[in-house]
Chain A
Amino acid sequence: MSGGPYNYSYIFKYIIIGDMGVGKSCLLHQFTEKKFMADCPHTIGVEFGTRIIEVCGQKIKLQIWDTAGQERFRAVTRSYYRGAAGALIIYDITRRSTYNHLSSWLTDARNLTNPNTVIFLIGNKSDLDGQRDVTYEEAKKFADENGLKFVEASAKTGENVEEAFLETAKKIYESIQDGSLDLNAAESGVQKKPTANGARSLSADNAEGRNPSSCSC
């Protein structure tokens, strides 16, 4: 494995944050294993997941840090934010308190990541529409006001889970393409790997895809 060519071109670091019990680990598990975990115990500290995805024909390895939502961990989980290219902030659509705390999570995310970090808001448990405590419109408005991407998703049914993770990667990839994300910056959250088909340099990528909208996906 070591020393050989990588079967992906980039590594993107993600963090998943939000209140306790909103389903952060279940969303990660649904994304990496395509399975729903019922009765998932509270995460201890920080957990880690990976999956290789494809965006615009580029294989990208997502390294995802899933943080514990318990308050007592929060002081230390902040040390994982640095160098994240993507941040998924989760709330539970059936528990208003988890929505009310979003601004505090967003402040942390903004202060501790870099200006190019893509922040995606996810309202989890969309399968429990009957117990809804936060309307879609209200959350959408909050997301728009704060310049966040937003979906409602369900770790249980898998609805919109794939979309949220992939959409985040696509936005990061677009920032690389248009040059706004500097790969050489220590905390960009992105690493470029030489690919098997002879290291295609980033400048070559840029030349091909000068215009991000030419990206077919």
Chain B
Amino acid sequence: MADTLTDFVSEDYLQEFEGKYNAEKQNGVPSDDTTFHYAWCLVRSKLLTDVRKGVMFLEQLVKKTSVEQHHKRDYLYYLAVGNARLKEYATALKYIKSLLQLEPGNRQAQELEKAIKKSMESDAIKGVAIAGGGVLLAGALVGLGMSLLKK
């Protein structure tokens, strides 16, 4: 089971909302709600290509939504989720900041901000470990080369 950043949508739901979106698209421009529902499922997909597509839809929605419209908060929140999943942490934090400007003290946004920072730190530690491993490997290769040269 999961939390906000690691909860995945099931395949059948993703398909259901994709179907609705495509049906509306055939008859013109899909409604904002349909687009949002589809995007919300996409950012919860296991496939990063889906997440990217969801982020793109949300970016389009947020662009055409003025600050006064209350839907803006929803788009900003899921843009933060989507970007965090893509490990675009700086962008994710930027969206959370915009949301907190609209609603200072929103605890749900603050919690997500914490989760993103935690995920960012754990990735950084892994990154150091991989880089460290790389250095060790390079050292081993140099050592091997030297021993071969001696022979």
Quick one: closest A residue to B77, CB to CB?
A44
Q: Is the C-beta of A76 less than 8 angstroms from some C-beta in chain B?
A: yes
Q: Is the C-beta of B1 less than 8 angstroms from some C-beta in chain A?
A: yes
A47 touches B17 (CB 8 A): no
B97-114 CB contacts (< 8 Å) to partner A: 103, 106-109, 111
Choose, from B33-41, B57-65, B83-91, B131-139, the stretch at the interface.
B33-41
A contact patch SS: mixed
Q: How far is the CB of B20 from chain A (nearest CB, A)?
A: 9
Residues 106-129 of B, flagged 1 when their CB comes within 8 A of A and 0 if not, give 111101000000000000000000
Given contacts A47-B108, A76-B17, contact A63 B1 (CB under 8 A): yes
B41 surroundings in chain A (CB, below 8 A): 76, 79
Q: Which of B2, B13, B74 contacts A44 (CB 8 A)?
A: B74
Q: How far is the CB of B111 from chain A (nearest CB, A)?
A: 8
A191 to B1, CA, bound (A): 9
A76 touches B37 (CB 8 A): yes
Quick one: closest B residue to A43, CB to CB?
B108
Quick one: closest A residue to B102, CB to CB?
A41
Q: Which of B3, B10, B33, B77 contacts A72 (CB 8 A)?
A: B33
Q: How far is the CB of B90 from chain A (nearest CB, A)?
A: 21
A47 surroundings in chain B (CB, below 8 A): 4, 108, 111
Q: Is the C-beta of A82 less than 8 angstroms from some C-beta in chain B?
A: yes
Q: Is the C-beta of B9 less than 8 angstroms from some C-beta in chain A?
A: yes
B74 touches A79 (CB 8 A): no
Q: Is the C-beta of A125 less than 8 angstroms from some C-beta in chain B?
A: no
B73 surroundings in chain A (CB, below 8 A): 44
B1 touches A79 (CB 8 A): no
Q: Is the C-beta of A48 less than 8 angstroms from some C-beta in chain B?
A: yes
A147 to B73, CA, bound (A): 38
B71 surroundings in chain A (CB, below 8 A): 72
A58-78 CB contacts (< 8 Å) to partner B: 63, 72-73, 75-76
A44 surroundings in chain B (CB, below 8 A): 73-74, 77-78, 108-109
B3 touches A48 (CB 8 A): yes
Quick one: closest A residue to B109, CB to CB?
A44
Q: Which of B1, B3, B37, B77 contacts A75 (CB 8 A)?
A: B37
B106 touches A45 (CB 8 A): no
Q: Is the C-beta of A37 less than 8 angstroms from some C-beta in chain B?
A: yes
Given contacts A44-B73, A47-B108, contact A76 B40 (CB under 8 A): yes
A52 surroundings in chain B (CB, below 8 A): none
Q: Is the C-beta of A24 less than 8 angstroms from some C-beta in chain B?
A: no
B1 touches A11 (CB 8 A): yes
Q: Is the C-beta of A13 less than 8 angstroms from some C-beta in chain B?
A: yes
A191 surroundings in chain B (CB, below 8 A): 1
A48 surroundings in chain B (CB, below 8 A): 2-4, 7
A43 surroundings in chain B (CB, below 8 A): 108
A147 to B47, CA, bound (A): 41
Question: Would you mind naming 11 contact pairs between A and B with Cβ atoms under 8 Å apart?
Answer: A44-B78, A45-B74, A47-B111, A48-B4, A75-B17, A75-B37, A76-B13, A76-B17, A76-B40, A76-B41, A79-B9
Could you list which residues of chain A lie within 8 angstroms of chain B, going by C-beta atoms?
11, 13, 37, 40-41, 43-48, 63, 72-73, 75-76, 79, 82, 191
Could you list which residues of chain B lie within 8 angstroms of chain A, going by C-beta atoms?
1-4, 7, 9-10, 13, 17, 33, 36-37, 40-41, 71, 73-74, 77-78, 103, 106-109, 111
